[in-house]
């Protein structure tokens, strides 16, 4: 069931009705800035954010899918972290490039039902597994290396700054989590087995942590087991143990939780390790806002927005572990505003978000993340003070996307992390939180499970084994299949469906328990399907 305060709906309608475009003279990356009649920024493509966001999702995916191949036969994004049309960029991949892409494509597949997206997920996960893991006989076995030190080798074997044999445990946790998701889509135990091995290595190395040492280090040599040191300050030549610290541990937590739920792997060690990480998060970064490094190409200590807000979203999605989450998440949001707010475009009614302390420039990924996470906070707390800037921030980040789907960091280059995997998911999450931001089309916006199959093509009588009450309702609007037999999906639809079937059995339109509810919006509406005993859903016209 969708719970939205009337005041929030009124805010949205007031926001939408004044979006009458006016072109400004200032160019923002690829496009002249467009504003509404009050001078606030609106998306470049269309005054309606829902239409504009959807357009960007399509063009970004098309750009990624059709990206040229390198001379070694691999798609360009398998070798490089920055797009260059005419020559190959000399840098290898980003440390989180593949896991971020899988994260976004999983949501995008449910939204679009494009089988090419699912195929790309399998390719990314499978190739990384067979070309990027540490040996089984080393001290940190079976975890992914974040970089290809020989760019065209097709092998990932180290770290961008620290060279061969160095891995980043937090990125291993993220990849392990995405492997669980891939397993749930394909039901292939290869992905689950690899996720278990990653989790086993991480759990075996989790420490209690303190103010200067996180439960897992930021960078480690997988053969010696030693933490790799960062420089205290660029150019000083001094070393420090800051590489013992990163707060990007919530993906690893979720990996442990998911495997415990599946009862796979060394669940006893996962429970112990997750307890240590939770206790450390509560005692240290949530209290002192010491969020620390994330990015593979930074060789010194840096505070990062991504670590702070990734943790904040985890807290909002798991309030049972954080009794004071409302106050604590608001504290994290305020800290980000204090340290990373960028007011360059304030005259257009928007304050955007910088990346990190050593690189204080605004980012398309970081601004869209901040916006989607703040929208989640608004929906859960009814704190409407954050709503307008969040939507304006999403609008601002649309200007980074060119007509062809190339997505450029606003003052930098077209990064294949920030513009793709760490961009698409934030718009989809925003749509799931506020379906008014999704177009008036048929789209699965969210699930508490994982979508294995999604079809929007119209007539799917092959899925039907029972007749509808009316002979003219054999047309199927949406068909989908999930991993779990128990879950909830939100689906944006043009019109209310005539029937909803779960495993061929009609569901009742009821407010609680197994069934469905329909919420009418100004345009279209949202179907909430609650499943208790099935995983195949048919939504009929």
Q: Of all residues in the chain, what percent carry a pLDDT higher than 70?
A: 90
- More confidently predicted of 12 and 30: 30
On whether the CB atoms of residues 332 and 308 are closer than 8 A, the answer is: yes
Once rounded to an integer, what is the mean pLDDT over residues 524-532?
A: 98
On whether the CB atoms of residues 61 and 405 are closer than 8 A, the answer is: yes
Once rounded to an integer, what is the mean pLDDT over residues 407-426?
A: 96
pLDDT of 379 reads: 98
| pLDDT(344) > 60 | yes
- More confidently predicted of 299 and 113: 113
Once rounded to an integer, what is the mean pLDDT over residues 384-412?
A: 97
Distance of CA 446 to the CA centre of its chain: 12
| pLDDT(462) > 80 | no
- More confidently predicted of 234 and 442: 442
Q: In what order do the strands lie in the sheet with 451-455?
A: 451-455, 476-482, 536-540, 499-502, 505-506
pLDDT of 163 reads: 95
- More confidently predicted of 238 and 57: 57
DSSP result, 498-531: SEEEETTEEPPB-SSSSEEEEEE-SSSEEEEEEE
Confidence of residue 15 (pLDDT cuts 50, 70, 90): low
| pLDDT(225) > 90 | yes
pLDDT of 472 reads: 41
DSSP result, 351-391: -EEEEETTEEEE-HHHHHHHHHHHHHHHHHH--GGGHHHHH
- More confidently predicted of 143 and 6: 143
On whether the CB atoms of residues 300 and 314 are closer than 8 A, the answer is: no
Alpha-carbon span 79 to 314, nearest angstrom? 31
Alpha-carbon span 397 to 56, nearest angstrom? 10
On whether the CB atoms of residues 437 and 378 are closer than 8 A, the answer is: no
Query: Of 225-234, 263-272, 393-402, 442-451, which range is least confident?
Result: 225-234
pLDDT tens for each residue of 247-264:
999 999 999 999 999 999
Measured at the CA of 250, the angle between CA 247 and CA 251, to 5 degrees, comes to 120
DSSP result, 469-488: SSTT---EEEEEEES-SSEE
Distance of CA 157 to the CA centre of its chain: 25
Q: How many helices (H) and strands (E) does the chain have?
A: 14, 21
Q: Of all residues in the chain, what percent carry a pLDDT higher than 90?
A: 87
> What are the structure tokens assigned to 288, written together?
């002192």
What are the backbone dihedrals phi and psi of residue 141, each rounded to the nearest 5 degrees, phi first?
-80, 155
Once rounded to an integer, what is the mean pLDDT over residues 410-439?
A: 97
CATH number for the region 70-302 comes to 1.50.10.10
Q: What is the location of CATH 1.50.10.10 in the chain? A: 70-302
Alpha-carbon span 328 to 278, nearest angstrom? 14
Query: Long-range contact list for 476-479, CB < 8 A, 24+ apart?
Result: 476/538, 476/539, 476/540, 476/541, 477/442, 477/539, 477/540, 477/541, 478/442, 478/444, 478/454, 478/537, 478/538, 478/539, 479/453, 479/454, 479/455, 479/536, 479/537, 479/538, 479/539
Average pLDDT, the chain: 92
pLDDT of 230 reads: 67
Confidence of residue 59 (pLDDT cuts 50, 70, 90): very high
Alpha-carbon span 351 to 396, nearest angstrom? 9
SS (H, E, C) 253-298: HHHHHHHHHHCCCCHHHHHHHHHHHHHHHHHCHHHHCCCCCCCCCC
Once rounded to an integer, what is the mean pLDDT over residues 45-69?
A: 98
Identify any residues that bridge with 352 across adjacent strands, giving them in sequence order.
342
Kindly report the length of the chain.
541
| pLDDT(40) > 80 | yes
pLDDT tens for each residue of 349-365:
999 999 999 999 999 99
Confidence of residue 458 (pLDDT cuts 50, 70, 90): low
* Largest pairwise CA distance in the chain: 77
Half-sphere exposure of 172 (CA within 13 A, CB side): 32
């Amino acid at each position: 069931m969708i719970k939205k305060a009337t005041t929030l709906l009124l805010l949205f309608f007031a926001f939408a009705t004044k979006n009458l475009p006016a072109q400004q003279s200032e160019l923002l990356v690829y496009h002249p800035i467009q504003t509404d009649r009050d001078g606030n920024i609106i998306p470049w493509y269309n005054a309606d954010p829902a239409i504009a966001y959807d357009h960007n999702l399509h063009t970004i995916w098309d750009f990624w899918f059709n990206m040229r191949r390198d001379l070694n036969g691999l798609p360009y994004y398998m070798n490089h972290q920055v797009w260059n049309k005419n020559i190959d960029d000399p840098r290898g991949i980003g440390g989180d490039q593949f896991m971020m892409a899988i994260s976004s494509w999983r949501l995008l597949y449910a939204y679009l039902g494009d089988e090419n997206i699912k195929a790309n997920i399998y390719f990314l996960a499978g190739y990384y597994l067979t070309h990027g893991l540490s040996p089984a006989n080393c001290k940190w076995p079976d975890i992914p290396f974040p970089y290809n030190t020989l760019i065209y080798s097709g092998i990932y074997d180290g770290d961008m700054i620290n060279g061969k044999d160095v891995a980043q445990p937090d990125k291993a946790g993220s990849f392990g989590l995405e492997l669980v998701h891939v397993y749930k889509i394909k039901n292939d135990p290869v992905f689950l087995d690899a996720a278990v091995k990653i989790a086993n290595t991480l759990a075996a190395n989790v420490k209690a942590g303190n103010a200067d040492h996180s439960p897992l280090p930021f960078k480690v040599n997988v053969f010696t087991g030693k933490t790799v040191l960062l420089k205290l300050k660029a150019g000083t030549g001094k070393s420090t143990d800051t590489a013992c610290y990163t707060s990007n541990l919530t993906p690893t937590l979720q990996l442990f939780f998911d495997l415990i739920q599946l009862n796979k792997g060394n669940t006893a060690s996962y429970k112990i390790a997750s307890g240590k990480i939770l206790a450390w998060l509560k005692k240290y970064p949530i209290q002192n806002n010491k969020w620390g490094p994330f990015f593979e190409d930074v060789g010194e200590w840096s505070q990062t927005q991504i670590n702070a807000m990734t943790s904040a979203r985890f807290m909002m999605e798991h309030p049972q572990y954080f009794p004071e989450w409302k106050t604590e998440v608001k504290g994290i949001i305020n800290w980000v505003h204090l340290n990373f707010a960028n007011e360059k475009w304030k005259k257009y009614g928007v304050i955007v978000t910088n990346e990190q302390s050593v690189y204080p420039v605004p980012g398309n990924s970081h601004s869209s993340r901040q916006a989607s996470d703040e929208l989640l906070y608004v929906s859960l707390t009814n704190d409407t003070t954050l709503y307008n800037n969040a939507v304006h921030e999403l609008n601002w980040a649309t200007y980074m996307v060119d007509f062809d789907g190339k997505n450029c960091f606003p003052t930098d280059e077209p990064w294949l992390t920030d513009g793709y995997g760490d961009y698409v998911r934030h718009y989809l999450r925003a749509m799931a939180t506020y379906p008014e931001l999704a177009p008036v089309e048929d789209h699965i916006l969210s699930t508490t499970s994982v979508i294995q199959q999604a079809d929007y093509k119209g007539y799917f009588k092959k899925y039907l084994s029972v007749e509808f009450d009316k002979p003219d309702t054999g047309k199927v609007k949406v068909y989908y299949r999930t991993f779990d037999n128990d879950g909830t999906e939100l689906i944006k639809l043009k019109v209310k469906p005539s029937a909803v079937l779960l495993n061929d059995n009609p569901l009742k339109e009821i407010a609680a328990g197994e069934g469905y509810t329909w919420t009418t919006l100004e345009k279209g509406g949202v179907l909430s399907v609650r499943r208790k005993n099935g995983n195949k859903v048919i939504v009929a016209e």
